[in-house]
Amino acid sequence: MRPFPELETERLLLRQLREEDAQHLFQYFSLDEVTEYYDLDSFKEIGQAESLIRSWNQRWEKGEGIRWGITLKTEDRVIGTCGFHNWMKEHYKAEIGYELTPEYWRKGIMTEAIGEIVRFGFKELSFNRIEAFIDPENISSRKLLEKTGLKEEGLLKECFFEKNRFVDAVIFAVLKKEYKIQ
């Protein structure tokens, strides 16, 4: 099996999630403010975090996606995750996903992490296109995606069924030819 790629930025280490990270994921996934625009309900028990970590790691093992745990270089505590899912190798594209514990919101952490995985996606995974779907009301995600080079392509009405209702999604994307790889 190929090794899980660790990525470094100025402040961050992006690494594979481990079983012992479940407590940290549970802490922030149990907050409604974190799951408000997420396709999961807020966690009620730690087993949900353990299951999510296993699921993300299995996607990597099967070549279906990759999800990094975001840690500060100064401490090995997962403060969020980011990665690629809906990986369509035959189309050279994937969808980006992410979340962060609220104490680190608006500090440039996710901008730094997403910038690095977008670069990695184009350079190492040979993506031609990277997409993101967000709730139209999620202004913070909109600003993040724009800062990291993705552009809005349109509104998809009632695109997903989440939390027992149909929800709209705004699609953002960036193409390899539009992105300046550092």
The tens place of each residue's pLDDT in the chain, 182 residues long, gives: 689 999 999 999 999 999 999 999 999 999 999 988 888 889 999 999 999 999 999 999 999 999 999 999 999 999 999 999 999 999 999 999 999 999 999 999 999 999 999 999 999 999 999 999 999 999 999 999 999 999 999 999 998 888 888 999 999 999 999 987 54
β-strands 66-72, 12-16 pairing: antiparallel
CA-based R_g, the chain, Å:
16
Homologous superfamily (CATH) for 7-178: Gcn5-related N-acetyltransferase (GNAT) (3.40.630.30)
What ranges make up the beta strands (E) of 57-128? Answer: 66-72, 78-88, 93-100
Domain residue limits, the chain: 7-178
Q: Report pLDDT for 182.
A: 47
Q: Report pLDDT for 1.
A: 61
- Of 132, 142, 130, the closest CA to residue 93 belongs to 130
